[in-house]
Amino acid sequence: MNIKILDSQHFDSKMNMHLQQYLIEHHLPKIGFYHVVAKKGDTIIALGMLYSNHVHPHRDYILFHEVQNDLEANLFIKLINNLEKKSKTRRLQLILNSRNNSLRELFESHRFYIARTTYLIELTEITEIYTDIKRIKTKKLNQMSKEEWQELKKLFHKNYRRFHEGVNVLAQEFSPDLLFEYLKNINIMESTILLNQHSQLCAYFLIGGSDENSIEVAYLGGMDEDHMDDYLFFFQNELSTLLKKFKTVYFEADDSDDYFSALMQKLNCDLSDSYYTLIKDLEE
């Protein structure tokens, strides 16, 4: 049976219904401003979607999904060509499991390239730290002064912006206050800052979601890499404290983030579980 490529600009009501059913069946988000599908008879066998992210608006995001992971290369190229034609920014970005070599090779053959690798880390134990804990001074976020809150927001904004600019720059309207407000799930009871010898904020360790057995490290960072050893000791101490309360501590670590990269190397983390961010700038 022949396979047809259809785009959402030409969907009739029946095809729109099929699309919605496909999204629901495969637990895909209804966020696209443009869709293109490969269809065999009345069945959708692959989907390409373009969507936007107002926090990082300088690229259009691709979501690609296929049912059996065996789409022929020529059909894949047709789907991607349709997506590229409808890109509003003329810049594209997508996330892909690093184990999916065949799909990665298809995207790379279409001049996409890996801009970032994100590692999914789970810790159940870390090597005990034998440094004098009294030499560091920390404070929970719920104990911070108004001035310390402002310093934290500025430092977080600086690091977040810097470590994302190589892939998709933070929207200009996101000030330090607005960016931190956007982080809805930060646990201020568990999150901690590090103070230097002058009692000034110099690093942060921000906690996200948790359940009975596990807890997430959402973000961490410092003032500058010159004091990385101090920050790493602080990060390890916080991880050790969390592992006394929870069975597992987990985090997503971008290789573009100097602080997470240094921590992964220090802990000799298992890097087998990861995903790629691929990007492409279209020719005008």
Report whether pLDDT(131) > 60. no
Name the band, by pLDDT with cuts 50, 70 and 90, for residue 127: confident
**In this structure, are 143 and 71 located in the same domain?**
no
How many structural domains is the chain composed of?
Answer: 2
Identify the pLDDT of residue 10.
85
Which residue is it, tokens 């330090």?
A: 176
Name the band, by pLDDT with cuts 50, 70 and 90, for residue 128: low
Identify the pLDDT of residue 132.
58
Mean pLDDT of 52-71: 90
DSSP 174: -
Identify the pLDDT of residue 41.
85
Most confident of 18-22, 100-104, 119-123: 119-123
Report whether pLDDT(45) > 60. yes
**In this structure, are 146 and 249 located in the same domain?**
yes
Q: Which residue type does 261 have? A: S
Q: What is the pLDDT of residues 205-226, one digit of tens each?
A: 999 988 999 999 999 999 988 9
**In this structure, are 79 and 148 located in the same domain?**
no
For the chain, what is the mean pLDDT? Answer: 92
**In this structure, are 155 and 251 located in the same domain?**
yes
Q: 47 and 58 in contact (C-beta within 8 Å)?
A: no
Identify the pLDDT of residue 184.
73
Q: What is the pLDDT of residues 224-240, one digit of tens each?
A: 889 999 999 999 999 99
Total-model pTM: 0.89
Name the band, by pLDDT with cuts 50, 70 and 90, for residue 68: confident
Identify the pLDDT of residue 133.
56
Stretch (H or E) spanning 170 = none
Q: Supply the range of the domain harboring residue 128.
A: 122-274
Identify the pLDDT of residue 134.
58
Identify the pLDDT of residue 72.
85
**In this structure, are 128 and 228 located in the same domain?**
yes
Among 65, 70, 19, 71, CA closest to 42: 19
Identify the pLDDT of residue 3.
86
Identify the pLDDT of residue 138.
94
Identify the pLDDT of residue 2.
83
Please list, in sequence order, all residues whose beta carbon lies within 8 angstroms of the beta carbon of residue 108, skipping any fewer than 6 positions away: 278
Q: Which two tokens stand for residue 256?
A: 């573009």
Among 71, 66, 58, CA closest to 3: 71
Measured between alpha carbons, how far is residue 87 from residues 55, 92, 132 in Å? 17, 7, 55
**In this structure, are 112 and 219 located in the same domain?**
no
**In this structure, are 129 and 270 located in the same domain?**
yes
Identify the pLDDT of residue 69.
74
**In this structure, are 107 and 32 located in the same domain?**
yes
Q: Which two tokens stand for residue 116?
A: 């970032």
**In this structure, are 265 and 139 located in the same domain?**
yes
Please list, in sequence order, all residues whose beta carbon lies within 8 angstroms of the beta carbon of residue 104, skipping any fewer than 6 positions away: 96, 98, 114, 276, 278
Report whether pLDDT(40) > 80. yes
Domain of residue 217, CATH code: 3.40.630.30
Instruction: Please give the share of the chain, as a percent, with pLDDT higher than 90.
Output: 78
**In this structure, are 87 and 127 located in the same domain?**
no
Bigger pLDDT: 264 vs 128: 264
**In this structure, are 137 and 81 located in the same domain?**
no
**In this structure, are 22 and 72 located in the same domain?**
yes
